[in-house]
Copies of this chain bind each other. A is one copy, B any other.
Amino acid sequence: MSRGRRTPRQADIAKIAGVSQTTVSVVLGGNRTGVRLSERTRLRVLEVAEQLGYVPDQITTRLPSHRNNLLGVYTFTPAFPADIAGSYYPILAGIEAEAAELGQDLIMFTASGAAPGDTRIRRTRLADGCLFLGGQASEEPMRELADSGFPVVCIGRPARLDDRIPYVAGDYFAASAEVVTRLVLAGHRKIRYVREPEETLPACDRERGVLAAATEHGLDLRGLVVRTDGADSGFAGATTITGWLAEGVTALVIEETDSGALFHAVRRGVRVAGVPVPAGLSLAVLGRPPEDYSGPEVSGFEVPRRALGQAAVRLLAALLDQLPGLPVEPRLLACPPIDGSTIMSVRNVT
């Protein structure tokens, strides 16, 4: 029934118990320095504390140690968008699970559209360290933070890559190479890789993976990579598909894109051309098909979002316990293949 009464502090207990505030601190702190303490005093202090309903101030308790057991979570877009499908949910779930494991709480920095934005990155320092999710754009402040020695971990490769920012990300290179290898093992020798023109890092990783596997297996590299947004001259729907078939192409690999437009464009072209999948043409996507696609499961791979969240927390925790300035290995996580049903074996290819 506290009616405006200020919450009790150690000094209050000390006064009532007739001891010094220091003694109160020692008793309440469980006497971890192991000083000698009369049992009578101990009990007396405990009793008064109980009676006053004392509870330590969480902020100042942690002041001396400068450790708050607080991990920051910074999202460049709202953490809980209306569209749950495209949300950070699985990543957040991984973060929460691992943080709980390590006894760390999470502080999520919110952004109101109105604010200057600069203030948010500052607030970040309330935490012991901070996770950054999905920050392709405007990552400059984050770099300054990292440069100042504040522990920072990116989930997803930072756009401007250098060794200053620790990160965890899916191993798109390996996963993309694996998809191509899968096609080769199924007998495909002539394929097309359809990708958007944008040179984002994930896009580069995927293309490198495709090229590496294609080279390794001695595939025909001419015309292998097709750059198009699905609506430009690079891809003319059914016409293009028919042309590729005439050239002997037996499989298509499609980049995973945010909008999913590319996948839909290609899928539509194939349908209009009247080519059955996978009987007439095998299909794979470097990731998953768009959420709004419904149809037979497309072969590709999974981005291990939950695991990414967990790995990021572990990495950040490791950073917290070591001297700043030491280089940190980025963590590349394997992307489990999705078998799907859109790849079919090719028997007789000359």
A residues contacting B by CB (< 8 A) are 1-5, 7, 53, 55-60, 62-63, 66, 68-70, 78-82, 84, 87, 89, 92-93, 96-97, 99-101, 103-112, 115, 122-123, 125-126, 144, 147-150, 323-325
B106 touches A149 (CB 8 A): no
A92–B88 alpha-carbon span in the complex (Å) = 13
B80 touches A93 (CB 8 A): yes
The 9 closest A-B pairs by CB, nearest first: A80-B93, A100-B110, A3-B325, A2-B149, A100-B112, A58-B126, A58-B125, A106-B108, A107-B107
In the complex, the chain B residue whose C-beta lies closest to that of A112 is B100
A105 touches B126 (CB 8 A): yes
A108 touches B108 (CB 8 A): yes
A58–B109 alpha-carbon span in the complex (Å) = 13
Contacts A80-B93, A93-B82, A110-B104 hold; do A55 and B125 have CB atoms under 8 A apart?
yes
In the complex, the chain B residue whose C-beta lies closest to that of A126 is B58
- Residues on the B chain within 8 Å of A110, using CB: 96, 99-100, 104-106
Q: In whole Å, how far is A302's beta carbon from the nearest beta carbon of chain B? A: 15
In the complex, the chain B residue whose C-beta lies closest to that of A57 is B125
- Residues on the B chain within 8 Å of A70, using CB: 107, 126
A162–B209 alpha-carbon span in the complex (Å) = 63
- Residues on the B chain within 8 Å of A104, using CB: 110
Since A4-B324, A105-B110 are in contact, a sample of 6 more A-B pairs with Cβ atoms closer than 8 Å, ordered by chain A residue number, is A7-B149, A53-B148, A56-B122, A58-B122, A59-B59, A79-B96
